[in-house]
């Protein structure tokens, strides 16, 4: 899945316009942060690391300018299993951020690593990323049930970045752990206009503790902002899952390749006109709060 990460972050240093009026606070379910800092080196196997920072301080400025009160930060692939930078961010800004860690899914010690990250550093969950090909077949292997079981014991969600073809494999694990909260990232990057593929995602609606992030509208779309073709796909998911199991996310700064942070926020705040006001509030704030509860919002 590295192809989505190989980009140059555009416009991160641009000035942020002041808001004309206060906005209702929302919670962003999905961003990444990183900082070129010798204390927190990128993983050695990352051959083309980012040329610019996407630091917590930069994110906080964007949040303030756009009425985003809280954010869930997902450990970025550049650090692989080294969660120290994100741990330092969580320590400094505990009331503003929740963190989702990465652990090596092919390491038998992964459940213990997750327990340490949760209990010692305050992480709230783990993200796994099985690829579509043979390199992702570990999702079917014997190391997955112990990791999923530990998530349940720690009472943290399992977050999954996977192509839609992997979702039947994910469903087998959900069958074994039906009480575990599971979040599917980015609509499983399901291509538009392929109902048989989308059915692999909507089939997960039978599990009441499965949630879906309706992010990546920009990268799936074949049309300009506000991506009406992607909005149609979101509508189909809304019809099946309902607003209480869907959540938005900017995927900043990955989304900067397609739209600004402000545009990404307003895509969900101002568009998706099929939503009722109550539905919109769930997607913008309350669903995220169900999965990653913040003390004060």
Residue with tokens 């913008």: 284
Strand order in the sheet with 182-184: 126-128, 158-160, 182-184, 210-213, 246-247
Tokens 């109902």 belong to which residue?
A: 195
Whether the per-residue pLDDT at 274 is higher than 50: the answer is yes
Q: Residue 114: what pLDDT?
A: 98
Statement: residue 17 has pLDDT above 60: no
Mean predicted confidence (pLDDT) in 214-222: 98
The pLDDT, as a whole number, for residue 128 is 98
What is the average per-residue pLDDT within 27-42? 98
- Please write the tens of the pLDDT for every residue from 39-80: 999 999 999 999 999 999 999 999 999 999 999 999 999 999
The confidence score (pLDDT) of residue 34 equals 98
What CATH number does domain 2-291 carry, 3.40.50.360, 3.20.20.140, 3.80.10.10, 3.40.720.10?
3.20.20.140
The mean pLDDT value for 259-278 works out to 98
């Amino acid at each position: 899945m590295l192809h989505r990460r190989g980009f140059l972050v555009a416009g991160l240093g641009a000035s942020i316009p002041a808001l004309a009026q206060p906005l209702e606070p929302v919670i962003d379910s999905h961003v990444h942060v990183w900082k070129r800092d010798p204390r927190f080196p990128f993983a050695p196997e990352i051959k083309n690391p980012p040329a610019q920072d996407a630091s917590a301080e930069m994110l906080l400025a964007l949040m303030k300018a756009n009425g985003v009160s809280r954010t869930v930060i997902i450990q970025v692939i550049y650090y692989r299993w080294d969660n120290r930078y994100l741990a330092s961010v969580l320590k400094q800004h505990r009331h503003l951020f929740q963190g989702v860690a990465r652990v090596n899914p092919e390491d038998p010690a992964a459940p213990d690593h997750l327990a340490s990250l949760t209990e010692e550093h305050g992480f709230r969950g783990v993200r796994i990323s099985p690829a579509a090909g043979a390199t992702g077949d570990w999702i079917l292997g014997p190391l997955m049930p112990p990791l999923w079981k530990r998530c349940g014991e720690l009472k943290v969600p399992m977050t999954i970045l996977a192509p839609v073809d992997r979702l039947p494999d994910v469903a087998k694990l959900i069958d074994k752990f039906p009480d575990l909260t599971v979040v599917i990232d980015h609509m499983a990057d399901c291509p538009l206009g392929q109902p048989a593929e989308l059915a692999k995602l909507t089939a997960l609606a039978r599990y009441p503790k499965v949630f879906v992030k309706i992010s990546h509208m920009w990268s799936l779309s074949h049309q300009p902002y506000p991506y009406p073709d992607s909005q149609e796909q979101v509508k189909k998911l809304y019809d099946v899952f309902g607003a209480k199991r869907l959540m938005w996310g900017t995927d900043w700064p990955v989304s900067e390749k397609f739209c600004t942070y402000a545009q990404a926020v307003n895509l969900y705040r101002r568009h998706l006109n099929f939503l009722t006001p109550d539905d919109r509030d769930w997607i913008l704030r309350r669903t995220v709060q169900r999965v990653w509860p913040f003390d004060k919002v």
